[in-house]
Structure 1
Amino acid sequence: MAGTPTSASTLPPPRAASANPTSSFTALARQVTDLGLMRRRYGYYWSKLVGAVLVLAGWVAAFIWTGDSWWQLAWAAVLAVILTQIAFLGHDAAHRQIFKSGRWNDWVSLIVADLLVGISHGWWRGKHNRHHANPNKEGYDPDLAIGALALTPEAATRPRPRAVRWLLDHQGWYFFPLTLLEGLSLHWSGIRRVASREKIERRWMEVAFLAVRLPVLPALFFWVLSPGKALACLALQLAVFGVYMGASFAPNHIGMPLVSARLKLDFLQRQVLVSRNIRGGPAVSIAMGGLNYQIEHHLFPSIARPHLRKIQPLVAAHCAAEGIPYTQTDLWTAYRQVVGHLNTVGVRGSDPFLCPLVAQRRAL
């Protein structure tokens, strides 16, 4: 079903458990490995990392040269795009895509996330690893627990004040406007993480990096610009950064089937059934940092980003042979599905995107 959006109502029932439930994925993984597609791409990533530093330095020079002008709003928006692209590199490093050494990957992710972007590497990695282990699984996936939204029927049916209830009924329409605050939320989550009492690896390094990064950008704005322009640029940079991040991650799983906490799926089904790929070629792939190949990324999280497009035909063919729906659509259709799903869940907790087990029982 490559190229066709799939709703959970059309999903097949879970396959019967076998003596070796991972054998199907093992065959696919062996094929990918035999083709040499698990090898590192050092030239690609070193050029990206060095280029990121040079681009940031160039942006600072251009910002200072432009001076106290309202044209700086354009530079603030450009910075938001640059930081999002750099954040994608931190994502790749956290997944061990760049180096064979886990330590090298950790340090690159730490420097990129904390020192350049201003997000806690430890907070994001822990949350994201839990998501990859159980995507869209109720009670397990932290990405389903967004306080301002109800992503599951259970969350939608909790007692709420009337005003909040009305907002949830229409939450799909304000989802993207809400991402205007996502940049601020990401920075705040990092601060809260490193200030908590829980055990954190390399806490003081994260504290040091965030203590440098977070004040430096506002200080630069207020040094070059008058207070009003500085505040406007800072607000715009945070808003564009949040929207770009939200627009890149939202199509991946929102609106795809929710998995009951009681349902057992093998690895291949668990990752493919709840993920959505985005068509669009190289332009979309660059804009989304490779997240448009979400299915392949979930199956092979440590594979280098340039190899995702190469394994996509293999994965699609393998899913077709196994009878597993493979969802791929264009970006705007994905956004419409996100909005429609959120609005449907918000209205009295109804949800057309049922887990495979529920869909099977209702069909009977």
Structure 2
Amino acid sequence: MQKAIIKSVELMADEKDKIDIPEPLKPKVKKQYNAQNCTLLRSGSPKVIILVTEATTAGTARDNTTTTDMNRREREMALREREATVEIVKGIFGRRNDNSNKTENQASRQTSASAVYKPVVIEQSATETELTRHFVEAGFRVVDPKVYSRLRQVADSTGDVGDMAAMGLKMGAQMIITGQTISERTNVQGGMTSCRARLEIKAIATEDGSILATNAIAGGGIDVSEAVANKIAIKNASENMAQYLMERLCSMNIQLAGTERGGSSAAAKTQGATGTTMTEITVSNVNYAKLTAVANAISKNSKVKNVQKKLPAGSTEGKLQVEHTGSTDELIDALGKAPALKFEVTGVDNGIASITM
């Protein structure tokens, strides 16, 4: 076997230049969401309640190390020897009605068992922490969990979607992110503990109780501490869930009632009924006069309802907020037919466009 290994190494050394070696895996780039690429955030910041129950246990896995099993058996044998010694002493000196010793022995048994099988419970919801971070960084307004303690009681007791939607609507929230997370230990070896977590989530619109998004995602974690490994597993699953929710919600061409700036809930319903669309156009290489010319050209379109322009001081990049009917492509195509404007389209997406003068 040694000769075969040596020969194999020689062959690989001779052919190393001809062996295809894959490039190292690049870390996955996580997309950042904001008002530029999220439809829900273009007209305001929706108020969100994040309510996720969490259960973490020690799992069903047993330690694979002989030392752990031996220590457990030694503790059990020591406990039996102690009980036998107590019985012998009582037989020599006579039995007394000593309830304190009995209670102490029972407590010793419970402590011995708890040291091996005691479940790990995480009081603070790590899932809520991760989801809250992603939604806040994107621009959503997230209600502090202490504010909706009553809602938490409703979720823990019934979990009824209608009850949560009604409670969230009373609190002024446009959306509720709710679900549950379970995490448990899967294996212990070499001083490291591995855990797995599964997260099931629903995004509910409080206005009518409709489900906007739902998914179930699992994740893993490993650490020398079982509690930390559980939290790492939950964090990994929550990050993937947050990416899914952002991608799903921000790609939906909807507007939640009560999120528009300076408007009312009724105004939002009217806007949705008329089928208008909000498109933000970034105009590069302009001054105020050129930006005004572009805004005037857009306003001549019969499908355009309103145009608002913005040009920060000292900047050559302006922004136009256009309320119109039809798609963003149709709006840019119509703008390209203006004879006095000379520009180049550098990007077009659903509700977003970029042009350079």
Whether the TM-score (by the shorter chain) exceeds 0.5 is no
More helix by share: 1
Normalising by structure 2, we get a TM-score of 0.23
More strand by share: 2
Larger radius of gyration: 2
Higher relative contact order (CA 8 A, sep 6+): 1
